[in-house]
Amino acid sequence: MKRDLHETLLRNSVAAVGADRADCSKCRRIPLSGELMHDLEDGRHLCSLCLKSVPASQREASRTERVHVLPRPLAVVRRVAPSAAAA
């Protein structure tokens, strides 16, 4: 029972991550967080690796976007220096 629950949760989480991310039109690879994805004028959505194989005359990207970890930005919290916290 425990193993079945673990496999089900893992399968659902992987499916949820892959469902909202666009894959590369050429290699079908889902990009990692931090990679750049390029939307070309002809409608293709290419990763940086595949963009290099496109001829220079067709390489003009209409939009370039960095793949994020989460759909919302992470919160940045200011931390107090350790010496100031002890005093």
pTM of the model: 0.57
β-sheet bridge partners, residue 40 = 61
What is the tens place of the pLDDT at every residue in 12-24?
655 555 555 678 9
Q: Which of 66, 67, 68, 64 is nearest to 38 (CA)?
A: 64
What is the tens place of the pLDDT at every residue in 26-48?
999 888 888 899 999 888 899 99
N-terminal to C-terminal alpha carbon distance within the chain: 52
**Residue 19 in tokens:** 């469902």
